Chains A and B, each alone.
Chain A
Amino acid sequence: EAQVTQNPRYLITVTGKKLTVTCSQNMNHEYMSWYRQDPGLGLRQIYYSMNVEVTDKGDVPEGYKVSRKEKRNFPLILESPSPNQTSLYFCASSLLAGYNEQFFGPGTRLTVL
């Protein structure tokens, strides 16, 4: 089944404790992206990747890191999480950037205490 998977789905952590949210797609998509969704703010892009080893900042990259060492994986890293990073996070992928629709993962609800 073609899909985007994220893990974990739910995470409660404490300020400053490094964490990684994994994202994997099995559709051989070149473009992958991370978004956060907050009430009243909609979806905001954190980072995106056009292809392996090619990443770029979205609109809200501060406090996040990403890597794209393999085509299928695009982990989101929070080196020192803070409470303002409490949010619902979505990973997405598309065949190519621009024209193609994005397929979204199920979301990861993160709470930073």
Chain B
Amino acid sequence: AQKVTQAQTEISVVEKEDVTLDCVYETRDTTYYLFWYKQPPSGELVFLIRRNSFDEQNEISGRYSWNFQKSTSSFNFTITASQVVDSAVYFCALSEEGSGGSNYKLTFGKGTLLTVNP
């Protein structure tokens, strides 16, 4: 079973629409960390946000907001009033302890390609 599921493979919106990217994760650890990364067409990977398992506060940063709900194992990402520059692949990722006990593995979802059309 996938540890990080991004069910939306591709999303296409028109500029100024709001869009939510879904992320569902699976872990048995009580301490874990969740991340979102952005990969624009130029190819680099850019860190957007981090959340630890003990902090369920939602966060807003400009047009971006994140909704972390442990009860549903979800960490969704919303872009308000989308812009063409938001077009990218967005990855959700989970960091949890590996088999070594203190080692941490990072597992990425398969990504969601967001296209914002003018």
Residues of A whose CB lies within 8 Å of any CB of B are: 31, 33, 35, 40-45, 48, 50, 56, 58-59, 88, 90, 92, 97-104, 106-107
Contacts and interface: CB of A to CB of B under 8 A. Distances in A.
Main secondary structure of the interface of A (DSSP, over half): strand
A58 to B, nearest CB: 6
B103 A101 contact: no
B118 interface: no
B109 A102 contact: no
A90 B99 CA distance: 23
Given A101-B47, A103-B47, A104-B44, A56 B100 contact: yes
B50 A45 contact: no
Given A42-B91, A43-B91, A97-B103, A106 B44 contact: yes
A29 B114 CA distance: 32
Contacts of B107: 45, 59
Nearest to B111: A42
Chain B interface extent, by class: 20 to 34
Nearest to A40: B110
Given A42-B91, A103-B47, A104-B44, A98 B110 contact: no
B43 interface: yes
Contacts of A97: 95, 103-104
Given A97-B95, A104-B44, A107-B43, A43 B103 contact: no
B98 A56 contact: yes
B64 interface: no
Given A98-B95, A107-B44, A33 B50 contact: no
B60 interface: no
